Structure 1
Amino acid sequence: MSATLRKTLVIIAIIIVAIVAIGWYLLQPNKAKFGDEELTGTDPLIAEIEEETIPSLGIMDPVGWADGEAPVAAEGLQVTRFAQGLSHPRSILVLENGDVLVAETNRQPSKPRNFTDRAAGWLMGRAGAGDPSPDRIMLLRDTDNDGVADSQSVLLDGLKSPFGMAVREGRLIVANTDAVLSFPFTPGDTTIAKGEEWQLMALPGGGNHWARNLLLSPDGNQLYVTVGSASNIGENGMALEEGRAAIHEYDFTTQTHRKFAGGLRNPMGLAFNPDSGELWTTVNERDMLGPDVPPDYLTNVPIGAQYGWPWIYWRFTYDERVEAPMPQYLQEYTRWPEYALGAHVAPLGLVFANGGALGETYKSGAFIARHGSWNRSPPAGYDVIFVPFDDRGNPVDGKPLTVLSGFLGDDLKTTRGRPTWLAWDAARGSTAGGLLLSDDTAGIIWRITGTPAAQPAQD
């Protein structure tokens, strides 16, 4: 081998090593500096941004739960398996007769637009969320009332990424990713035949945030519909965001709908506060500003409320990455969210306390399922928390209480499951019963109850 060839090979080897080293360095996730102490509460830290060209990826391999394993419940609570063997269970609806409906669902296939989409899609696949959508609603029954479902059957299939569900006047209302549909249904039915449904309203389908949640108003006259953004910060053009990043209101009397609130990047959980009568939601905030920015949040949603997406977050902070012109006076009308839930924790399911069904500690406030981060190191979320409220119906400042944990592996590189949706199985008005939690990657519905000492006395 000539000296010239050796020199050339050495230079090539050095270049390859340098490229690999630079690539390794660029792919190292930014390390979070703050935790729940600083990034939760009514007055959270809004940290300095660490803008990312390549998202910090937190690869969590789903390992599932072994027989006999369960999440760790807070003192005074216990958790058991209500149902298992499900295929990506997400939202839950408990009917007046005690039947439990579960949407087995996932996003529809789509082509990634950019590197971030590809990275997120690859990571979701690694995390157990890349399977084809089952596109159906399952019916679970606990006939002997022992806290375990005795049967599982398909109530309705052939849907398109179904998520939100509601029952009203002999109809089951289902939110596909692209439309709200109404099917003839009476609690107790075991199947629904397709062909007699009608469409209440069309929705912009798919996008980065594909799930559409539903909630009836307490009097049953209005239906609230969440639609998340198609992108992170409108980077594909605001024309694609028309009707998105919003909560819509459908009126059954007039059969019309309107935007109820906007600037909500990805609103998911919906619930009415029983003390104040206000509508509340959980919101997933934007990515790629660093591991601590900005916090996801829980907030009330007055009519006409505006929360700033994509131009503003947490009322006072502008996102300089957004290229689209900001509407005039937007900052003036942007609201400060009521309660921070931590950065990138992906809050999904939301229910308010059910008259102390889980004990005095949880008598007034909101339970929230934090699905868990995919772009933060160390990971955050992967739990169920409780945010206490005061007598006036407002969140109490401070760190939330942990209700259920143990979903993350001890190595912080694996997950046994991911907490997703919440529903009371005591929807018949009793404070007895428990809180159902879907675990989408594990295919389990968990049931959280108070121990005998924590349960309120019954008449």
Structure 2
Amino acid sequence: MFRTSTLIAVIAICLAVIANVNAAPPACASSIGGSQFTLQPDYCAWYYIQGLSTPRQVYVASNNDVLVAEAGKISVLFDLDNNGVINATSEKATLATQSGLNHAVTVNGGYIYASSSTTVYRWPYTAGNRTNLGTGEVVITGIPGPGHKTRTLEFDASGALFVSVGSGANLDPDSSRARVVKCDLNLSAIPSNGYSYTLCTVWADGTRNEVGLRHDPSGRLWGVENGMDDLSRPDLDTDAHINNPCEEVNIFANAGFYGYPYCFSEGFLSNSTQGAMSQWGVKAANDTWCKNTANVIKPVYCMQSHTAPLDLNFWSSTTFQPPYNKGLFVAQHGSWNRQPPSGYQVVHIKLDDSGNPINGSLTKFIGGNTGSSSVGGSWGFRPVGLAKLGACGEGVSECLLVSSDADNSIIAIRYSPGGGSTTITPSTTSSTSSTSSTSSTSSTSSTSTTGKPTTSSTSTSTTGQPTTTSTTTAQPTTTTTTTTAQPTTTTSAQPTTTTAQPTTTTTLSTTTGKPSSATMIIPTIFSVILAVIVAVMLI
């Protein structure tokens, strides 16, 4: 009996070892978004899940479940078999439904928070819950709409909620719609109909459409901004729209003004010698006002125009290799009316020891094959949300998740030396500039009374500040983009995005990158089993 039971136990253990050895990381994809793509060497990308409904932001819960904001609902993904790929039938569930949910999802204080264009909702949530959470509670109502309709939500360490509200049009008459507000509310005693948006205070003003919001490890609030379209300054460039305004990376200071709709941050202007991030008026009459640092806070980094950045992630990795083991990833959704197209990629920006962007350090990490590494180009996969996930399949301790609302999927990216076949193509540098590749189109000319310059026509305001309407108002209106907090400088007239490493046009194979080791070990394990059996029989 002893021999038999011992033999059975030994065989079971050996079979388990064989099963573990045969398990392999998810296979690298050869096509994403319907085409081949570009990825840095020694990294592997694969589909984490397909068949979603307009996925936007992604949030990883403490138990490694993945929350996804889809059209009108919040879903949860859970990898039960640890194969690094979500089965949309057995490993996905709906947590919450609410008409109008369109972008944001986050967790704070035992609740999931999400929003429509006008309302913030929440549901009680504990990590690991995979059942419907019922009717949501209204937290904030009366957020202005329509216009840019996404409302990004970000909590700070104290529990205050920051909400980003984009402009009502391509160019608004004033900045009243284009703001990041701080809602420092008592969330333990929410009124039955929610709090009014008017109780929130302006944290950053003049931010045209700051879709991406994140706090860095030191607690500073950052944003990435979608700039205006159809900019016209023929005195500075015959076609200023192509490379202006730059897409800004901002660090926000309380009550700071970042330029929209009166000023824009230069990406590249052929008749300018002042360089990227230089401030200009949407109308020439506002140039002096916009260049005054007492009026406008400059961005800390400029990216290529019209790339439409939608999320940023402060990355810290134990498996990704330098420079990608730390720094800042930015999801660029891609342009809608720029020719040639820009964006459609995830880029990486190096940060210095103080946590600030290093000028010229932007590198294309993954994106379409078209376009240069810094400008990007068209791709059927349009990056939206970014998140770090642990345990991304057998033998994969962490990966970067990227959602796309174009092909309704989420991909995962891991470090995988030698995984997939790649062809290195040299990266190129190009100017960085602003964008607005999401919905807004009309420019306006109206008056304001805030003491800021206005932006349509050529007249002066009664406050001594430049105006651009044919009125005597104190505030300029503009066809503009926003500027952001804490300026950094560039040394050239044209913003550069020199890639830190060559990008790789990948024709990735469908191998895992490490299958051969398992194949070689299997015969050895069978030899061990045989030896153990013989030893047991001789006992």
Give ranges in structure 1 of 5+ residues lacking alignment: 1-62, 106-134, 455-459
**Cα deviation code 1:112-164 (max 9, x no counterpart):** xxxxxxxxxxxxxxxxxxxxxxx122221112333212322222223213321
Cα distance between partner residues in 1 of 2:371 and 2:401 = 22
Q: What is residue 125 of structure 1 aligned with on the other side?
A: none
C-alpha contact (below 8 Å) 1:228/1:264 kept by paired residues:
yes
2:166 is aligned with what amino acid? G
Cα distance between partner residues in 2 of 1:173 and 1:442 = 25
Q: What is residue 228 of structure 2 aligned with on the other side?
A: 286
After superposition, the CA RMSD in angstroms is 3.1
Residue 159 to residue 187, structure 1, CA distance change in 2 (3 Å): farther
Residue 329 to residue 435, structure 1, CA distance change in 2 (3 Å): closer
C-alpha contact (below 8 Å) 1:233/1:322 kept by paired residues:
no
**Cα deviation code 1:300-328 (max 9, x no counterpart):** 112122111000112631112999xx999
1:453 Cα shift?
A: 8.0
Partner residue of 2:262 out of 300, 303, 311? 311
Cα distance between partner residues in 2 of 1:149 and 1:322 = 56
Question: Are positions 1:213 and 2:152 aligned together?
Answer: yes
**Cα deviation code 1:140-194 (max 9, x no counterpart):** 1112333212322222223213321221222111121101112222222223444
Cα distance between partner residues in 1 of 2:255 and 2:319 = 34
1:395 Cα shift?
A: 0.7
Residue 393 to residue 196, structure 1, CA distance change in 2 (3 Å): closer
Secondary structure of 2:59 counterpart: strand
Q: What is residue 81 of structure 1 aligned with on the other side?
A: 47
Partner residue of 2:84 out of 147, 169, 190? 147
1:318 is aligned with what amino acid? G
Partner residue of 1:448 out of 399, 403, 413? 413
Q: What is residue 248 of structure 1 aligned with on the other side?
A: 181
1:204 is aligned with what amino acid? P
C-alpha contact (below 8 Å) 2:402/2:412 kept by paired residues:
yes
Residue 188 to residue 204, structure 1, CA distance change in 2 (3 Å): same
Cα distance between partner residues in 2 of 1:418 and 1:212 = 19
Tell me which structure has the larger Cα radius of gyration.
2
Cα distance between partner residues in 2 of 1:366 and 1:199 = 31
Partner residue of 1:261 out of 204, 223, 241? 204
Cα distance between partner residues in 2 of 1:367 and 1:406 = 16
1:313 is aligned with what amino acid? F
- Provide the aligned length of Structure 1 versus Structure 2: 348
Secondary structure of 1:361 counterpart: coil
C-alpha contact (below 8 Å) 1:245/1:265 kept by paired residues:
yes
C-alpha contact (below 8 Å) 1:408/1:417 kept by paired residues:
no
Partner residue of 2:403 out of 427, 438, 443? 438
C-alpha contact (below 8 Å) 1:81/1:444 kept by paired residues:
yes
Give ranges in structure 2 of 5+ residues lacking alignment: 1-30, 191-198, 232-240, 266-277, 420-539
1:100 Cα shift?
A: 0.9
Secondary structure of 2:41 counterpart: coil
Cα distance between partner residues in 2 of 1:96 and 1:155 = 16
1:356 Cα shift?
A: 4.6
Question: Are positions 1:165 and 2:165 aligned together?
Answer: no
Question: Are positions 1:301 and 2:252 aligned together?
Answer: yes
Q: What is residue 120 of structure 2 aligned with on the other side?
A: 180
Cα distance between partner residues in 1 of 2:290 and 2:49 = 51
Give me the identity figure in percent.
Answer: 30
Question: Are positions 1:415 and 2:379 aligned together?
Answer: yes
Question: Are positions 1:91 and 2:66 aligned together?
Answer: no
Partner residue of 2:215 out of 272, 289, 306? 272
1:416 Cα shift?
A: 2.0
Structure 2 matches for 1:320-399, cutoff 5 A? 320=283, 332-399=294-361
Cα distance between partner residues in 1 of 2:291 and 2:243 = 28
**TM score, norm. by length of structure 1:** 0.69
Q: What is residue 233 of structure 1 aligned with on the other side?
A: 171
List structure 1 segments (4+ residues) > 3 angstroms apart after TM superposition.
63-66, 191-196, 252-256, 326-331, 407-410, 412-415
Secondary structure of 1:299 counterpart: strand
2:388 is aligned with what amino acid? W
1:362 Cα shift?
A: 1.5
1:447 Cα shift?
A: 0.3
Cα distance between partner residues in 2 of 1:448 and 1:343 = 26
Secondary structure of 1:337 counterpart: coil
1:83 Cα shift?
A: 0.4
Q: What is residue 268 of structure 2 aligned with on the other side?
A: none
Cα distance between partner residues in 1 of 2:224 and 2:296 = 17
1:416 is aligned with what amino acid? G
Q: What is residue 425 of structure 1 aligned with on the other side?
A: 389
